[in-house]
Structure 1
């Protein structure tokens, strides 16, 4: 299976509680990290692939260390494909590649893309980026992205897959905080967004 997420912001203390950017109802980063890890692992199996579209962790003042970020990521099930976000660094990517727990195996734990990646599913192509793209008039093409947290691009083909994205509220079922989105959920969001925008 393939799953999609963004903006985990592990260790980002400034997001805790109520705020206008990306409120997270946790008393500590340890509790937030634990909730994301638990929700992730309840859905993702070890052989699954998760596309993480940027902003793995936020480390004001160089906290946490790269080793601490690796410690959290090593607890997550699946093979992780990272698209670089504005809070990610090439230095972190290099560190993760060097300390990949599955290094030397047929499928490494971590893969990396600086700008974006393209995959095809169910006769659609998905451009995966951290920042939302304006694709113009498209057919069977979507842009999966993160970055804008609690905001939504008013275009059906742009789907914010961040863990605190408003698109998640369109799903018929409520997902635990931090759960990566499945392929079927992307299409559910897409069709519901299309219907809502058509009414405007």
Structure 2
């Protein structure tokens, strides 16, 4: 199965002091990291693929910081396809590539994309990026992105799949486990619910 997420911000010591992240209600960054790992592994199996659309962690740019990120990422199930975010130093991605590990099926665990990629499923074409794209008028093209945390783009063609996304409300759940990636099925359901929501606004 395929999953999507963004903006995990592992190891980000600034979270409690930044109002942008104030709704991440954890006493420590370690508690937040562990919660993400547990909620990720609750749904993602070792055979699945997760597209992580940027901002993996926020750390000191040195070998110790990069190794700490690696130690967290190897605890996550599945193959992880990374799209570089604005808080992802190229040196971090090089460190992960240099210390590549294998999945249970023998594949590389970490795959890297600088800008983005395109996936097609369920009659949609999905543009996967960190920053939101403005696609213009499009019937079946959707931009899956992160970067804006607890905000949503006022366009039916954009969907925020980050861990803070308010658009999880389109799934109609009382509360979503923090850090749980969105499945392919959930993404399609969110896209369809957002279209209905926008049609009602006309």
TM superposition score normalised by structure 1: 0.93
- 2:23 is aligned to 23
- How far, CA to CA, are the matches of 1:192 and 1:75 in structure 2? 33
Residues 98-131 of structure 1: per-residue CA shift (max 9 Å, x gap): 111119x741000000000111111211100000
Question: Does the 8 A contact of 1:154 with 1:197 survive in 2?
Answer: no
Question: Does the 8 A contact of 2:11 with 2:29 survive in 1?
Answer: yes
Distance of aligned partners of 1:76 and 1:145 in 2 relative to their CA distance in 1, 3 Å threshold: same
- 2:131 is aligned to 131
Distance of aligned partners of 1:22 and 1:107 in 2 relative to their CA distance in 1, 3 Å threshold: farther
Question: Does the 8 A contact of 1:17 with 1:24 survive in 2?
Answer: no
- How far, CA to CA, are the matches of 1:51 and 1:153 in structure 2? 20
* Aligned ranges 1:84-95 → 2 under 5 Å: 84-95=84-95
Question: Does the 8 A contact of 2:160 with 2:167 survive in 1?
Answer: yes
The answer to whether residue 72 in structure 2 is matched with residue 83 in structure 1 is: no
- 1:180 is aligned to 181
- How far, CA to CA, are the matches of 2:170 and 2:135 in structure 1? 22
Where structure 1 has 5 or more consecutive residues not aligned to the other structure, the ranges are none
Structure 1 residue ranges, 4+ long, deviating more than 6 angstroms after superposition: none
Question: Does the 8 A contact of 2:122 with 2:188 survive in 1?
Answer: no
* Aligned ranges 1:1-200 → 2 under 5 Å: 1-16=1-16, 19-21=19-21, 23-59=23-59, 65-102=65-102, 106-173=106-173, 174-200=175-201
- How far, CA to CA, are the matches of 1:64 and 1:155 in structure 2? 41
Range 134-143 or range 42-51, more displaced: 134-143
Where structure 2 has 5 or more consecutive residues not aligned to the other structure, the ranges are none
- How far, CA to CA, are the matches of 1:22 and 1:131 in structure 2? 21
Q: How many residues align?
A: 199
Question: Does the 8 A contact of 1:16 with 1:23 survive in 2?
Answer: no
Range 49-58 or range 10-19, more displaced: 10-19
Question: Does the 8 A contact of 1:84 with 1:112 survive in 2?
Answer: yes
Range 106-115 or range 70-79, more displaced: 106-115
Tell me the CA shift for residue 175 of structure 1. Answer: 2.0
Tell me the CA shift for residue 148 of structure 1. Answer: 0.3
Tell me the CA shift for residue 17 of structure 1. Answer: 7.5
Residues 68-91 of structure 1: per-residue CA shift (max 9 Å, x gap): 000000000000000000000211
Distance of aligned partners of 1:71 and 1:23 in 2 relative to their CA distance in 1, 3 Å threshold: same
